[in-house]
Structure 1
Amino acid sequence: MTDLAIHLLLFLFIAAFMAGFIDSIAGGGGMITIPAMLIAGIPPLESLGTNKLQSLFGSGSASIAYARHGHVNLKEQLPMALMSAAGSVLGALIATVVPADALKGVLPFLLIAIAVYFGCKPNIGDVEKHRRLSAFLFTLSFVPLIGFYDGIFGPGTGSFFMLGFVSLAGYGILKATAHTKFLNFGSNLGAFIVFVLYGVVLWKVGLLMGAGQFLGAQVGSRYAMAKGAKIIKPLLVIVSIALAIRLLADPTHPLRIWLGI
């Protein structure tokens, strides 16, 4: 599976660049990369494992870019990233033995709810608001929960982290975006380790796509820092709705099977 034709490798590189750009701003990069790998003929499990490898480059690249411009202190955020990784390891282990149909069924509606929240709340901007949950409780509860979700299923992880940082931690939307990337790096790393142990990572494809992710995330993060809430908020709404539609369009989605459509 690693000896793909040149045109397919180029297709995957471009898809990864686009995913890195979008993911560094609003999350949802997996909406592009996983279908791209499936189109290229890579089996589903290998697509999931390889996606975690290439996603490390995107989330890592964006984290570095945001840190260099003072929007996040990676050393201070390390405990959160480790909790995200721990939750992701547990989720990935469960994903190897338990079907994720329940999550798959409810996820589109959660994503639509996130889109409605960010789209209809006019006062969400770059200014920080009142914190509803202490940093300690946020780290021990919300962070590993979303990390667990990323390990067991994954789509929309960035959107969920963004929602938590804005609604619970009181962050402005640019600061929330910057902090989301490092937690996403942690959850990607945790799941990646599990998938490596199960031997479902295609290294050649993953590293090539990782290069595309790295470059796309550099461009995207700089664009987000220049535009702030003006670009992050609408793109987050669009990505959440697009991801929900794509999930519902899947013939194997539990809701479609239940309705017989």
Structure 2
Amino acid sequence: MVEIDAVQLDAWTVVLLLLAGLCAGWVDAVVGGGGLIQLPALLLVPGISPVQALATNKLGSIVGTATSSVTYYRRVGPDLRTAGPMAVAALGGAVAGAALATLIPAELFKPVILAVLAGVLIFTLARPRLGEYDDLRWVGNGHRRIAAALGLLIGGYDGLLGPGTGTFLVISLVSVLGYSFLPASAIAKIVNFATNLGALIFFVPAGHVIWQLGLGLGAANLVGAYLGARMAVAKGSRFVRVVFVAVVAVLILRLGWDVASSYLNGR
């Protein structure tokens, strides 16, 4: 039994968390949505509060998003004219969202997120060539303003809840701005790094982060993110699209289960 900041962990729980961090880093690097794996694993830890789990998840995730951002930058060369304003706006949104995370019950948002994800999945499946090639929309300042607006909205969600942020970033870059899946994933990693940083700007001073646990998850995320980013670059947009559809489907099932359980328990 190991004690980390008054949280008791046995050896199997540590192994489970590290495996979750590794898998989360890989999924996040390819299409986003690693929080679907890592955050529920943290919530299984005895004695950890939901806010501590969310904050510690951000610390682990930021290591993974930093790793995949660098890997994508070197191998894909994402458009920083889109990534820059989107990341700055997302950072601000994440700070605001994290501040609200202690005030607003997450249950209020899950049905809405579930409906949005279902729409995303149907939209993606109905357009089999979506994201296969770049078909950029708007130019110049108009393009950057739309990117910033998307970053602000999704950054606020990431600070507030988190799971699926990378998925929302990828689909917004593909369906709204017109990127193919591989460069969309590369830009999404830079923006996701900013949202994680924004959330931590609030969570760290508030004392919600469990540092030893978060750094251990960060190490696992680093390995998973490096492997995932390299695989995505090697296999291209079609591979990223397949993983994207799979992750969105799993996220829908997960959130659907949570919403149904809450409804049944409330009756």
Corresponding residue of 1:22:
27
Question: SS where residue 25 of structure 2 aligns?
Answer: helix
Question: SS where residue 155 of structure 1 aligns?
Answer: coil
> How many residues get paired?
259
Which residues of 2 match residues 89-104 of structure 1 at below 5 A? 89-104=95-110
Separation in structure 1 between the aligned mates of residue 40 and residue 176 of structure 2, nearest angstrom:
32
The TM-score, its normalising length taken from structure 1, stands at 0.91
Corresponding residue of 2:116:
110
Q: CA deviation at 1:73?
A: 5.1
The TM-score, its normalising length taken from structure 2, stands at 0.89
1:122 aligns with 2:128: yes
1:179 aligns with 2:187: yes
1:65 corresponds, among 61, 71, 75, to: 71
Q: CA deviation at 1:78?
A: 3.1
Q: CA deviation at 1:185?
A: 0.7
Which residues of 2 match residues 178-217 of structure 1 at below 5 A? 178-217=186-225
Shift of the 106–209 alpha-carbon distance from structure 1 to 2, 3 Å rule, reads same
CA RMSD of aligned residues (A): 2.1
String of CA shifts for 1:195-235, please: whole Å, max 9, x gaps.
11221111000000100001101000111111112221121
String of CA shifts for 1:33-87, please: whole Å, max 9, x gaps.
1111122323322111100000101111110100011332558733321211100
Corresponding residue of 1:44:
50
Shift of the 166–125 alpha-carbon distance from structure 1 to 2, 3 Å rule, reads closer
Separation in structure 2 between the aligned mates of residue 178 and residue 246 of structure 1, nearest angstrom:
26
Whether contact under 8 Å (1:115, 1:236) holds in the other structure is no
Separation in structure 1 between the aligned mates of residue 37 and residue 9 of structure 2, nearest angstrom:
19
Gaps of 5+ in 1: none
Shift of the 72–140 alpha-carbon distance from structure 1 to 2, 3 Å rule, reads closer
- Of 155-164 and 69-78, deviating more is 69-78
Tell me which amino acid in the other structure corresponds to 2:231.
Y
Tell me which amino acid in the other structure corresponds to 2:150.
F
1:246 corresponds, among 246, 254, 258, to: 254
Whether contact under 8 Å (1:72, 1:179) holds in the other structure is yes
Whether contact under 8 Å (2:120, 2:171) holds in the other structure is yes
Separation in structure 1 between the aligned mates of residue 206 and residue 30 of structure 2, nearest angstrom:
31
Gaps of 5+ in 2: none
Shift of the 125–169 alpha-carbon distance from structure 1 to 2, 3 Å rule, reads closer
Whether contact under 8 Å (1:104, 1:253) holds in the other structure is no
Tell me which amino acid in the other structure corresponds to 2:56.
T
Whether contact under 8 Å (1:126, 1:175) holds in the other structure is no
Question: SS where residue 28 of structure 2 aligns?
Answer: helix
Shift of the 60–153 alpha-carbon distance from structure 1 to 2, 3 Å rule, reads same
Whether contact under 8 Å (1:88, 1:190) holds in the other structure is yes
Which residues of 2 match residues 2-21 of structure 1 at below 5 A? 2=4, 4-21=9-26
Q: CA deviation at 1:90?
A: 0.6
Separation in structure 2 between the aligned mates of residue 251 and residue 117 of structure 1, nearest angstrom:
22
String of CA shifts for 1:228-258, please: whole Å, max 9, x gaps.
1222112111111111111121267655567
Separation in structure 2 between the aligned mates of residue 74 and residue 64 of structure 1, nearest angstrom:
13
Question: SS where residue 129 of structure 1 aligns?
Answer: coil
